[in-house]
Structure 1
């Protein structure tokens, strides 16, 4: 997971937050989060990298639309990343302070 770019990690989180999202759905979500345009030339090569590295599985909705889901490797990588991050962010937030 540490060999992924930040954008690729963001894609993993976005995929995890949906049930079989399309590339267009992921693009829309990330554009809203980044407050800017994500080009197809950036999105799809990064999705392909995640598929090729085994973090994501790609399926077909129809001739023009693919969907993406986390593989077991992808789920394990996100869980390991969260555990690593929690080691550096051990504090709890409170809503009343």
Structure 2
């Protein structure tokens, strides 16, 4: 009998808005250091993102299989989108496009 996959998985609706923003940033700048991701989000949010918010959310995305976490050097981690993360973002963009069809900005 095949063993069930017990890896925690998340889909776009289960992610927080902050986690979705992390995915979008990593998709645009990845592979990237956490400080690069943090700086890009701080520019968008026009405010400081503290480490206690950033890194636990990055770890959640890693645990969910949406991003990978590798070592750039002995002190620096690097984050990159997985194929599953790309799929979640593509599905989210399609869903948003459907909702905004016919809406002028």
**Both proteins in one fold, TM over 0.5:** yes
**Residue equivalent to 1:5:** 16
Matched, 1:71 2:82: yes
Report the Cα offset of residue 19 of structure 1. Answer: 3.3
TM-score normalised by the chain length of structure 1: 0.92
Report the Cα offset of residue 93 of structure 1. Answer: 5.3
Report if aligned partners of 2:30, 2:81 keep a CA contact under 8 Å in 1. Answer: no
Residues in 2 aligned to 1:3 and 1:92: alpha-carbon distance in whole angstroms? 26
**Residue equivalent to 2:44:** 33
Q: Could you list the runs of 4 or more consecutive aligned residues of structure 1 that deviate by over 6 angstroms after TM superposition? A: none
Q: Structure 1: give runs of 5+ residues left out of the alignment.
A: none
Matches within 5 A, 1:23-62: 23-62=34-73
